[in-house]
Amino acid sequence: MALSGLDIYKLLPKTNCRECGFVTCLAFAMQLAKRQVMAEKCPYLSEEAKRALEAASRPPIKLVTIGEGENKLEIGNETVMFRHEEKFHHPCGLGFIIEDNLKEEEILEIVKQINALSFERVGCMLCPNLIAIRQNKDAAKFAQTVRLVKDNTSLGLVLMSKDAQAQKQALQIISAQKPLIYCLNKDNYQEFSKIAAEFRVPVAVYAQELSELSGITQKLINQQIEDLILDTGKKSIAEKIWDLTQIRRASLYRSDRTLGFPSLVIVQDRSRPFEEALEASTYIAKYAGIVLIKGTQPWEVLALLTLRQNIYTDPQKPLQVESKIYPVGSVDDKSPVLITTNFSLTYYTVLGEVEASKVPSYIITVDTEGMSVLTAWAAEKFTAEVIAATMDKLAIKEKVSHSRLIIPGYVAVMSGDLEEKTNWRVTVGPKEASGIPSFLKNLHG
């Protein structure tokens, strides 16, 4: 947790020697609290003070990366308990467990299904993140399955085996991809900590009780093994939520470094997929860093990814699309030009209606910082000047041979001003998007 200026002052020598460039230690402390100056500017800091300042500037929940390249998963680095206080930063990773005792063709089929799980929603691509391979047979079969999955997916991998030899064999194949190894516990601590250090991979730490978990992570931190994920094992949903919440509270409010890591939850033994989806959604909503499930059905995954997207968007920033010219259908230089705002919901509603009209058209979205038409107009983000500037910038004149612009019915009041600013003839469209199909068909006719 960040220290106040007075907290920092208590750690300083209080000699007012001025060597840091400030007249007093208190002035230096105040600037340090605002991160306007580096602690190293004071040459007289005690070791204790350096440690305290270093700990205070560290994120309360460690950022942990699994995988490499564009599909790598970053989790942690969260700073608030509640989304409305700021925002949640790193979306929970969603992954699927594959058993290594399945036949090769069955494994390949599941991997193929997982790779195909990709959905577009409000201009964003929603995809799962991880495949976890669980050992049921010997180390050789586990390593063989890990190789098979690695060769057929670009998603991050989780190696689920309590057998140190099996982990080593698998890591010799894929350590460069930085998989998560699952899991280290009090019984295999010696072997697994060595593996995590040797292969430099993140490791999941397991203990049923938070106090025990904390004891294990403290030992790992002492060994500089800090890419950790926490798991408190199989419990009731209420108990899991309790654990996830206490872990988050301990790291944010009590600066407990031993619990300052993302958490992992495995949803298991749910015979019905809707139960699995409901349980997984509970953990996505409340603090899980990773949720592993078995079900790979698109309807289940879409629901979870949609929930995740909503929770991890910035509540102070509406979803927006890029400000540009969107051609809809087989447009040509005679196609109508409609203008609207870049609020995702507005754009996709207009897009759907234009598509339904079957009249090829251009839609121009104006950057209104994600505000809808009337709000943007009231906030002076959707004015004749702004629209004219956007049309110039996007060079709509180069796309069409006419000069006719359709504006939303709610901003009919600006039509005269807009004609003056653009030299285009402005037509007032319908107030509601649902009126667009008949409007465009009549316009076309």
Residues lying near ligand SF4 in the complex (CB under 6 A) are found at: 12-13, 15-20, 22, 25, 28, 42, 44
Least distance between ligand SF4 and beta carbon 25 (Å): 3
Report which of 330, 387, 381 is spatially closest to residue 360, judged by C-alpha positions: 330
Q: Which is nearer to ligand SF4, 18 or 358 (CB)?
A: 18
Report which of 202, 289, 181 is spatially closest to residue 244, judged by C-alpha positions: 289
Q: Are the beta carbons of 29 and 8 closer than 8 angstroms?
A: yes
Least distance between ligand SF4 and beta carbon 6 (Å): 14
Least distance between ligand SF4 and beta carbon 12 (Å): 5
Least distance between ligand SF4 and beta carbon 222 (Å): 30
Phi and psi at 133, nearest 5°, equal -105, 120
Q: Which is nearer to ligand SF4, 43 or 69 (CB)?
A: 43
Q: Which long-range contacts (CB under 8 A, 24 or more apart) does 54-57 make?
A: 55/255, 55/257, 56/1, 56/2, 56/3, 56/255, 57/2
* Residue 354, burial from CB neighbour count under 10 angstroms (0-12, 13-18, 19+): buried
From start to end of 213-372, where are the E strands?
228-231, 264-266, 290-293, 325-328, 337-341, 361-366
Q: Which is nearer to ligand SF4, 17 or 38 (CB)?
A: 17
Q: Which is nearer to ligand SF4, 44 or 274 (CB)?
A: 44
Q: Which is nearer to ligand SF4, 57 or 438 (CB)?
A: 57
Q: Are the beta carbons of 424 and 392 closer than 8 angstroms?
A: no
CA–CA separation, 302 vs 443, rounded Å?
38
Q: Which is nearer to ligand SF4, 40 or 109 (CB)?
A: 40
Least distance between ligand SF4 and beta carbon 28 (Å): 4
CA–CA separation, 40 vs 32, rounded Å?
10
Least distance between ligand SF4 and beta carbon 51 (Å): 17
Q: Which is nearer to ligand SF4, 15 or 245 (CB)?
A: 15
CA–CA separation, 322 vs 362, rounded Å?
14
Q: Give me the DSSP letters along 1-40.
A: -PPPHHHHHHHS------TTSSSSHHHHHHHHHTTSS-GG
Least distance between ligand SF4 and beta carbon 55 (Å): 19
Q: Which is nearer to ligand SF4, 44 or 299 (CB)?
A: 44
Unique residue bearing structure tokens 């580096």: 38
Report which of 389, 379, 375, 376 is spatially closest to residue 418, judged by C-alpha positions: 389
Least distance between ligand SF4 and beta carbon 16 (Å): 5
Report which of 91, 90, 82, 1 is spatially closest to residue 245, judged by C-alpha positions: 82
CA–CA separation, 418 vs 405, rounded Å?
10
Q: Which positions ≥6 away from 254 have C-beta within 8 Å?
A: none
Q: Which is nearer to ligand SF4, 13 or 298 (CB)?
A: 13
Least distance between ligand SF4 and beta carbon 50 (Å): 12
Least distance between ligand SF4 and beta carbon 164 (Å): 49
Q: Which is nearer to ligand SF4, 39 or 171 (CB)?
A: 39
Least distance between ligand SF4 and beta carbon 44 (Å): 5
Q: Which is nearer to ligand SF4, 13 or 327 (CB)?
A: 13
Q: Are the beta carbons of 76 and 289 closer than 8 angstroms?
A: yes
Rounded to 5 degrees, what angle do the CA atoms 213, 203, 180 make? Answer: 140
Pair of tokens at residue 124: 């964003």
Q: Calculate the CA 103 to chain-centre distance.
A: 34
Least distance between ligand SF4 and beta carbon 24 (Å): 6
* Residue 352, burial from CB neighbour count under 10 angstroms (0-12, 13-18, 19+): middle
Q: Which is nearer to ligand SF4, 35 or 84 (CB)?
A: 35
